[in-house]
Structure 1
Amino acid sequence: MLIDDMILIRKTQETELTYVRKTEKDPTNSPYILQWSLQEHKRALTDNPNILHLLVIERLSNKPVGYVLINRLEDENDSMEIKRIAFSEKGKGYGRKMLHLIKQWAFTDMHANRLWLEVVDHNFRAKSLYESEGFKIEGLQREAIKINNNYQSIYMMSILRKEYQENK
């Protein structure tokens, strides 16, 4: 469990997948993220030791406000991926707090050398947040994924351990 003054991040329970799927399908999220079936989410909870399915909870209300998937926990190159981020509550600082906790955990506890993610090119709000948190653009993959039957271009972004340590 990761915790600060505003949020805590813990493993998602199967009973919470209804919230996760609803958050994914929300019109403020669905143009930017791939949709997983209930079975895919269940498999991430139980069948894959290389992925973490995490819920972000507001501490004051003890209610979920988002979720995050972390992939490549056992990567031989020490390169971890933030596979998906989705929040039901926006504009309250939860995403920034989550990134702080995930970066600290990845670089300190997991000894990752690199933390990376992909962001749809027209998700300006998320891209701006990642840049402000030290993530650098590595490149643009043109029309690399299909979301809602539309091809989307995605930026690959990363932050290295040395960059994290210089900026903390």
Structure 2
Amino acid sequence: MNPVQPAVEPLERMPARVRLRPTMSSDLPYVVSLEQDPENLPFITPWERTQHEAAIRFPDFRHFIVEGGAGLEAVGFVILVGCRNPNQSLELKRMVIHAKGEGFGRATLRMVKKVAFDDLGANRLWLDVKARNARARALYDSEGFLVDGVMREAVKTSDGFVSMVVMSMLLHEFAARRSGGLEMRA
């Protein structure tokens, strides 16, 4: 019996372009508003504004505004942690896209992988996702992330405890996907 392969979105069918730009202090009201949006709250643990301010300044973090579409308007934000990790293990701490269903999440994730492996020299890019976040888990799976394990009932929420699924991609897996035309070129 052959395992079912995840659906893969070829690069040539990518949505309107996206780019990442460093988050500025003036962007923080937008960032905080995305985290507080009732559509996003079930899937993230929001930060205080001061945590975002620290992430903008601290060299081990990369905090980006995601701009997308024809006019390159803000469509979300991304936070990477461990940019100076001596083990070259980089965490995708948070990715919040407000323009859902338009392909910006997939395009952003591909850009994040390129930045992590090509620009920041990561050997491992990892993330954790709430087990109940089926949409995000499907995206990460289809983009080549593998499940490392599950942290059972790791996060307390208003309706009980939620398990976290830890997923990762290694540099050699990214390189293989790139060779197969599934990732952006360097």
Compute the TM-score of the two structures, normalised by the length of structure 1: 0.92
Indicate yes or no: 2:42 matched with 1:36. Answer: no
Cα distance in 1, alignment partners of residues 158 and 137 from structure 2: 20
Cα distance in 1, alignment partners of residues 106 and 75 from structure 2: 13
Alignment of 1:96-107 (within 5 A): 96-107=106-117
Aligned match of 2:56? 45
Shift of 1:149: 6.6
Indicate yes or no: 2:166 matched with 1:166. Answer: no
Deviates more, 1:118-127 or 1:147-156: 147-156
Counterpart amino acid of residue 48 in structure 2: S
Alignment of 1:47-62 (within 5 A): 48-62=58-72
Q: Which has the higher strand share?
A: 1
Distance 1:136 1:59, change over 3 A: same
Cα distance in 2, alignment partners of residues 148 and 28 from structure 1: 15
Shift of 1:107: 1.2
| Structure 1 segments of 4+ aligned residues over 6 angstroms from their partners | none
User: 3-state DSSP class of the match of 1:77?
Assistant: coil
Percent of matched pairs sharing the same residue: 37
Structure 2 spans left out of the alignment, 5+ residues: 1-14, 179-186
Distance 1:12 1:80, change over 3 A: same
Aligned CA-pair RMSD: 1.5
Assess if the C-alpha contact under 8 Å between 2:76 and 2:98 holds in 1: yes
Aligned match of 2:119? 109
Post-superposition CA distance 1:62-115 (Å, at most 9, x none): 321010100000111111000011111100111111111111121122221100
Assess if the C-alpha contact under 8 Å between 1:31 and 1:148 holds in 2: no
Structure 1 spans left out of the alignment, 5+ residues: none
